[in-house]
Copies of this chain bind each other. A is one copy, B any other.
């Protein structure tokens, strides 16, 4: 299969869908909606939604509910980037080659745009008009997965650990805990949400969860490597910022080559979790490979 084509096609589907559920810039409060749109349509690769779609496809032909469910993950991801970039947090001026949200709209609006995107994710997942292909019990389960992946024991918890680790001597197990929460839990939620849309069996959900954990780790290690070796043009933001901030990453512990090897091992392990799945899981397999091979 052609993974680039698959990624491009799904990204467009997600973008088109997101366009239909975010209020226009003419809708009051106009600046809030402009600010939400600014970051949501800033060129994200939609990895989390695509993982959800691919997981749903691996189990069976997904219902139409997959697009809103998948897109809710991008709302969460976008809010987390806006808040992470704030002066009180990572204090970043650029993201994906564009000024960060608070540099354009100010801190107050950036905080509120993040809050609104986070809330909108749950509003979207709780719509019956868009998710009527799902039974309500599965819909509740999906919402719960999203909340757990994003919350205090998930992504937000990981961001707290990350902030607390800056300029400190941390060991490898702390680094693993940071990543498992900060990026891992939402990727895990993405795959599980997709699987639940397609009514995965308990065994399928179990295998896909293990896939997600390995793929999530590969994704984060690859991200750390890119931060070291990527150029400003490729990344759309300043390169090698982790080291400048005294932030410990996988390359700190393993070197760039060691980290690359580790990422490749995680990718192989992720793919091996899909043994019981047929060709419908090929997009998931290719996604795991893409995650470590990408240049931005």
User: What 1/0 mask marks residues of chain A from 115 to 130 whose CB sits below 8 Å from any chain B CB?
Assistant: 1101110110111100
Q: Which residue, of A23, A122, A136, has the highest number of chain B Cβ atoms within 10 A?
A: A122
Assess whether A126 is in contact with B147, with CB atoms less than 8 Å apart.
yes
Decide if the interface of chain A is mainly helix, strand, loop or mixed: helix
Q: Which of A137-145, A230-238, A261-269 contacts B (4 or more CB under 8 A)?
A: A137-145
Interface residue A89 (Cβ < 8 Å from any Cβ of B): yes
Assess whether B136 is in contact with A140, with CB atoms less than 8 Å apart.
yes
Assess whether A108 is in contact with B148, with CB atoms less than 8 Å apart.
no
Assess whether B118 is in contact with A89, with CB atoms less than 8 Å apart.
no
Q: Which residues of B contact A47 (CB under 8 A)?
A: none
- What CA separation (Å) do A249 and B131 show in the bound complex? 41
Q: Please state the number of chain copies in the assembly.
A: 2
Q: Which residues in chain A, 129-177, are within 8 Å of chain B measured between CB atoms? A: 135-137, 139-141, 143-144, 146-148, 150-153, 156-157, 159-161, 163-164
* Interface size band for A: 35 or more
Assess whether B156 is in contact with A127, with CB atoms less than 8 Å apart.
no
Contacts beyond the supplied A83-B115, A88-B106, A116-B152: 18 A-B pairs with Cβ under 8 Å: A29-B161, A32-B156, A79-B115, A83-B112, A88-B107, A88-B111, A89-B111, A112-B156, A115-B115, A115-B156, A116-B151, A120-B147, A122-B122, A126-B143, A128-B137, A128-B141, A136-B139, A143-B143
A positions within 8 Å CB-CB of B: 23, 28-29, 31-33, 36, 79, 83, 86, 88-89, 106-109, 111-112, 114-116, 118-120, 122-123, 125-128, 135-137, 139-141, 143-144, 146-148, 150-153, 156-157, 159-161, 163-164
